[in-house]
Amino acid sequence: MRAVGLTRYLPIDDPQSLQDLELPMPEPGEFDLRVRVEAVSVNPVDAKLRAPKDQVEPQPRVLGFDAAGVVEAVGPGVTLFQPGDEVYYAGDVTRPGSNARYQLVDERLAGAKPTTLDFAEAAALPLTTITAWELLFERMPFDFDAEDNGRSLLVIGGAGGVGSIAIQLARHAGFRVVATASRPQTRDWCLAMGAQHVVDHRQPLGPQLQALGLPEVDVVLNLADTDLYWDTIGQLLAPQGHVGLIVEPAGPLRIGDPYKAKCIGMHWEFMFARPRFRTADMICHHRILNRVGSLVEAGELKTTLTEVLGPIDAATLREAHRRLESGTTIGKLALAGWPA
């Protein structure tokens, strides 16, 4: 089967950084779906794992953690899907990724693809959606179906992949949502996703929130830079507030006042935790994706896709990684179709 992978970790401008490959067809295990991949999307984790380092893989490594496609075969223990079903998923960081014509994924990590979306639109959603959902409604003590919880939420990095869906999910849960963006395009995108207000992260956040009548906020999702905003968030959060983090700090964080004095809840999110550690509740990914798929079909949530590239091959994936590394992408970038 066709695939794109690497054996060495090189700068993305090096044509050997991602290569076109021919690999054996994978055989499903007990609970595996073998999916014919029709579209994938890229995430910062792809570029992070591919980043230059002094290491050589003995066998080609296939990356990619967002996909949509058609179930082509199933393992003997599979009960949730059957061949011919259309699915979408973010997969498992410990297994070969989605940048392959066929991929194995545990059925408990896949959801039914929303019928109102094409494969590229669906592939844009899983990783970021599970990340935002788990952070807000599983790590933090909030209810997705609250409708009006009376709380304020600041999303730092609102125009990114996670921020784009977090804004939508938070609005559904009744938050008053403020997003950060600095360019006209990203500001407009955040508003289109449902943010009630947008503030400029290149300027001090406190005075801008004060001007909105928010001297403090109840929740902050820092989706951009943990170190840069650490002290600011401590000042902005209300007593007994919550901060959600997805980016590793460069060094130790100062966990003292005002965090201790305010009893601020700190919540880390890594959506691969369940599949990586084979937790007993892995099926939560299936349930989250199915719930979100129903909301998309009902018109209550929308894809965060902004652009589709194609076909799925090494040259196109290198271009997608280049765009990710530029730090200027908005929403999600997907690839669809395979070379003829």
- Per-residue pLDDT tens, the chain, 340 aa: give them: 999 999 999 999 999 999 999 999 999 999 999 999 999 999 999 999 999 999 999 999 999 999 999 999 999 999 999 999 999 999 999 999 999 999 999 999 999 999 999 999 999 999 999 999 999 999 999 999 987 788 999 999 999 999 999 999 999 999 999 999 999 999 999 999 999 999 999 999 999 999 999 999 999 999 999 999 999 999 999 999 999 999 999 988 888 999 999 999 999 999 999 999 999 999 999 999 999 999 999 999 999 999 999 999 999 999 999 999 999 999 999 999 999 8
Buried b / exposed e along 61-78 (16+ C-beta atoms within 10 A): bbbbbbbbbbbbbbbeeb
The residues pairing with 334 across neighbouring beta strands, listed in sequence order, are: 41, 308
**Edge-to-edge strands of the sheet including 176-180?**
197-199, 176-180, 152-156, 217-222, 237-245, 265-268
d(CA 91, CA 97): 7
Identify the pLDDT of residue 243.
98
**Residue 142 Ramachandran class (φ > 0 left, ψ -120 to 50 alpha, else beta):** beta
d(CA 123, CA 128): 10
Identify the pLDDT of residue 149.
85
Q: What angle do CA 80, 86, 90 make, to 5 degrees?
A: 80
At 136, give phi and psi (nearest 5°): -80, -40
Identify the pLDDT of residue 146.
87
Which residue in 275, 326, 305, 285 sits closest to 44, CA to CA?
326
The residues pairing with 53 across neighbouring beta strands, listed in sequence order, are: 9
Which residue in 43, 236, 239 sits closest to 156, CA to CA?
236
- Residues composing the chain: 340
Identify the pLDDT of residue 340.
87
Q: What residue type is assigned to position 269 of the chain?
A: E
